[in-house]
Structure 1
Amino acid sequence: MTNREEIENGRSAIAEAEHWVVKLGSAVFLGDSRQLDRPVFTALIEDISKLLRRGKRVTLVSSGAVALGREHLGWPEDGGASIPCLQAYAAVGQSRLMQLYADEFVHHGHKIAQILFSRADLDARRRFLNARMTLERLHQMGVVPIINENDTVATEELRFGDNDRLAAMTCGVVHADMLVILSDVEGIFEVEQASDGSRKFGERIAQIEADDPHLMEIAGPSISGVGTGGMTSKVQAAQIAARMGVPTVIARGKRRGVLGEIADQKDVGTLIGADRDAGLAGKKVWLGTGARPVGRLLCDAGAVRALRERGASLLPSGVLSVEGAFDEGAVVELSDEHGVAFARGISVYGSSDIERIAGHHSDEIVGRLGFRILDTIVHRDGLVMI
């Protein structure tokens, strides 16, 4: 556990945060009866409005469309887990979700905007930047953007996985410096594994660093049965945000005034710390969050060490093999010889050309290809560690 002084020092960074991404899980504003918990929802919007009055920017990422759609249709039992059914529930529930937000925010003098993302919207850098410009303009207009995955048309291959991950990626889109994930639990708890495989929860962890190996050991699946993500997905989202130097607080959304308490640096929830000075910048934000690899390069041990320890570029001599067919400029995953991914980058050459120069020195590129773009396969300026 972290002592009191360390907690206060860690949470002091929250006061400096100017742009918050707040993720609301469906379990937060749906009650135990699986009906809308109106008092909780109203209190949350009031809480967000108070943040806005403090001069903070707030971008909301909201789950709930599928749950509200099912609730509106009487929670049908047949076929509820199939993708077509879930997409139909999302189509029914998304308009209801946005109407709820519009009705509540108007009492505080705020207008809202709906933004629906599919995974492909953040894969391509141009679309990533277009999304950033749209969201920036909305904030300049004083409009609160509310983001959700476009569940109605998303396929399994084009999904974010859950809105926790989408919230973390949104931090990169909008240049946020604070991520808050509101759920149905008070934060992350110490866990003991019993001999029968069950998990016994201990004390709440007030603060932990994103790169602490203990973090993934204590995360667990969803227990509410309403949302799709558990604590594992929230921890993974916090680790994505940490790559950009963004800290995350995981807290209980039903706690009245929870956002104000976080802003006031109270010991609420679990703070997952990040090194702000080590955060990604420029196109590396897109590489580290939005871009999805279309191929893979297996690298030898020397290349892995050079990239990890010296921040070097990937040379042809360090490539063992190529997987996938892709053109130059494609995003590729870099893995060690055991297949464990450790980086992501923009390939200078296409896959067929890399196959011809893999394992060779850079001064052989022209002789083997008849041309040379760069001496590297992935330049360090287009490379992020993961």
Structure 2
Amino acid sequence: MARSFVTEATRVVVKVGSSSLTSAAGGLDTARVEALVAAVVSRAGGLVLVSSGAIAAGLAPLGLARRPRDLATLQAAASVGQSELVHRYAEAFGRAGHRVGQVLLTETDVIRRTHYRNARTTLERLLALGVVPVVNENDAVATQEIRFGDNDRLAAIVAHLVSADLLVLLSDVDGVYESNPRLGPARMLRDVRSDADLDGLTARGTGVAGVGVGGMATKIDAARIAAAGGVPTVVTSASLAAAALAGDEVGTVFHPTGPRRASRLLWLAYATAPEGRLYLDDGAVTAVVDRRASLLPAGVTRIEGEFSAGDPVDLVDPRGRPVARGLVEFDSAELPGMLGRSTMDLAAERGPFYEREIVHRDDLVLLLTRR
């Protein structure tokens, strides 16, 4: 019996990993790219493809035998390989009568309000024009180590960004197993309905070609992010992509565990590392958690860490328990003289720029709800 949530999905995000697109030697495998496109092209009217493989595609043109270790060479390989990867996709989809459009995203593009709106508008317009967006992280200009934002998590956020009905995560393993199936007999999980179903799981490792940076652990994290925002997710192998998209009972299904939420807030909650901490008094904790209010300077007692305006920070209660995460409006160097003071006093002393919140409620996601 076909999975109705798959067959009825009109907008689908498919993510494919490097290990599913490369040869045993580590270079891009044209036959695998062609096979993937053949498997997903039936959904091209509402398909977003999140594809790894840019670095792998850049190895051969640069004469590199294996994935480089230093950031500069990784970025060079990504720069060269990205155009090669999209060219292959353009040719394969083109033969089926479809155009592709390259979309390179960074963490900033999905958590900052203005960037988020622009990214969403671009993707929506491409889909409305019948174009297949090919999305990848902008590795060529990443300012952090390239693996900081794996494409599994990016795919989960993109699924929310475009209001997808389904997320499919493809690799070289046909589902989520309780242990590594390459090391011996292992049971596949067919359905995940809560975190309790994942208890005792030991999943890790890169693909067999050794060119990816993810592994089953990142796919599980991504599936949980998607499911937490109401998007069902199928985790399976690239060889089973056509069957998965036809609704066949393959792979592991992560069923929705929560309602749809803004994608940038999901990214903020699940896929960012806080740059610092803001300690709140009890009144501020009540305002933020129970009333969903913005955080004002009067409610902050102290700060930890060094951060810039726009960075993610954890909001913690007097005992140090994180209750929320948000994008801070001020640099850490500015905040000490503002703590415990009203915005009216700050505006009178420093000017109208300071008559505002430290973290706006639109840039804040709860990590703990009170019982």
Change (3 A) 1:71 1:349: closer
- Aligned twin of 1:383: 364
Q: Does residue 212 in structure 1 map to residue 193 in structure 2?
A: no
In structure 2, give the amino acid aligned to 1:97. L
What pairs with 1:8-87 in structure 2 (closer than 5 Å)?
Answer: 11-52=3-44, 55=45, 57-76=46-65, 80-87=68-75
SS at match of 1:61: strand
| TM superposition shift of 1:22 | 0.9
SS at match of 1:242: helix
Give the counterpart of 1:182 among 170, 178, 181. 170
| TM superposition shift of 1:187 | 1.1
Change (3 A) 1:63 1:340: farther
- Aligned twin of 2:150: 162
Separation (CA, whole Å) in 2 of partners of 1:35 and 1:350: 43
SS at match of 2:179: strand
TM-score (norm 2): 0.80
Give the counterpart of 1:274 among 253, 256, 259. 256
SS at match of 1:251: strand
Task: Confirm or deny: 8 A CA contact 2:344 2:355 kept in the other structure.
Answer: no
Separation (CA, whole Å) in 2 of partners of 1:366 and 1:75: 57
Cα RMSD for the two superposed structures: 3.8
Could you tell me which runs of 5 or more consecutive residues in structure 2 were left unpaired when the two chains were aligned. Answer: 349-353
Give the counterpart of 1:251 among 233, 236, 242. 236
User: Hey, which of these two has a bigger chunk of strand by percent?
Assistant: 1
Could you tell me which runs of 5 or more consecutive residues in structure 1 were left unpaired when the two chains were aligned. Answer: 1-7, 193-197, 359-363
1:220-246 superposed Cα distances (whole Å, 9 cap, x missing partner): 222521211111111222222234222
Separation (CA, whole Å) in 2 of partners of 1:187 and 1:64: 21
Separation (CA, whole Å) in 2 of partners of 1:271 and 1:369: 52
The count of aligned residue pairs is 359
| TM superposition shift of 1:289 | 7.2
Q: Does residue 365 in structure 1 map to residue 365 in structure 2?
A: no
Task: Confirm or deny: 8 A CA contact 1:242 1:274 kept in the other structure.
Answer: yes
Q: Does residue 335 in structure 1 map to residue 348 in structure 2?
A: no
| TM superposition shift of 1:124 | 2.8
In structure 2, give the amino acid aligned to 1:229. G
Change (3 A) 1:169 1:39: same
Task: Confirm or deny: 8 A CA contact 2:278 2:302 kept in the other structure.
Answer: yes
In structure 1, give the amino acid aligned to 2:211. V
In structure 1, give the amino acid aligned to 2:196. D
Separation (CA, whole Å) in 1 of partners of 2:140 and 2:103: 13
- Aligned twin of 1:112: 100
- Aligned twin of 1:222: 206
1:76-134 superposed Cα distances (whole Å, 9 cap, x missing partner): 35x82111221222222222111111111111100111112233333432122112111
- Aligned twin of 2:247: 265
Give the fraction of aligned pairs with identical amino acids, expressed as a percent: 40
Separation (CA, whole Å) in 1 of partners of 2:134 and 2:320: 38
- Aligned twin of 1:4: none
Change (3 A) 1:42 1:50: same
Change (3 A) 1:356 1:103: closer
Task: Confirm or deny: 8 A CA contact 1:336 1:342 kept in the other structure.
Answer: yes
